Structure 1
Amino acid sequence: MIDEKLEPIFDDVVRRNPGEVEFHQAVREVLDSLGPVIAKNPDYAEQKIIQRICEPERQIIFRVPWSDDNGEVHINRGMRVEFNSALGPYKGGLRFHPSVNLGIVKFLGFEQIFKNALTSLPIGGGKGGADFDPKGRSDDEIMRFCQSFMLELHRHLGERTDVPAGDTGVGVREIGWLFGQYKRITNRYESGVLTGKGVEWGGALVRNEATGYGLVFFLEEMLASAGKTLDGRTVVVSGSGNVAVHAIEKAQQHGALVVACSDSSGFVHDPAGLQLDVLKDVKLSRRKRISVYADEVGSATFVERGNIWTLLCDVALPCATQNELTRRDAELLARNGCIAVAEGANMPCTPDAIQMFESAGVAFGPGKAANAGGVATSALEMQQNASRDSWTFEHTERRLAEIMVSIHRLCHERSEQYGTPGNLVHGANIAGFERVARAMSALGLV
Structure 2
Amino acid sequence: MDLSVINSIAIIYLLSEKNSIIFSIFISMGWVLLSVYSQFYEVYRYTRPISILSLTVKQFILFLLLVFAFSGLYHELDIYPRPIVKYLLLCFLFITIFKFAIYYLLQKYRTSFGGNYRTTVIFGLNKKTIALDNFFNKNPEYGYSHKKTFDFKKKEHSLAECFQYVLAENIDEIYCSISELTNAQIADTVDFADNNLKILKFIPDSKEIYAKRLQYEYYDYIPILTLRNIPLEDSVNTFLKRGFDILFSSFMIVFVLSWLTPIIAILIKLESKGPVFFKQSRNGFNYKEFDCFKFRSMMPNKDAHLYQATRGDDRVTKVGKFIRKTSIDELPQFFNVLFGDMSVVGPRPHMVSHTTMYAKRIDKFMVRHFVKPGITGLAQTSGFRGEVETDKDIIGRVKFDIFYIENWSLLLDMKIIFQTFVNAVKGDDKAY
Q: TM-score, normalised by structure 1?
A: 0.28
Q: TM-score, normalised by structure 2?
A: 0.28
- Structure 1 or 2: more helix by fraction: 2
* Rg larger in structure: 2
More contact order relative to length (CA 8 Å, sep ≥ 6): 1
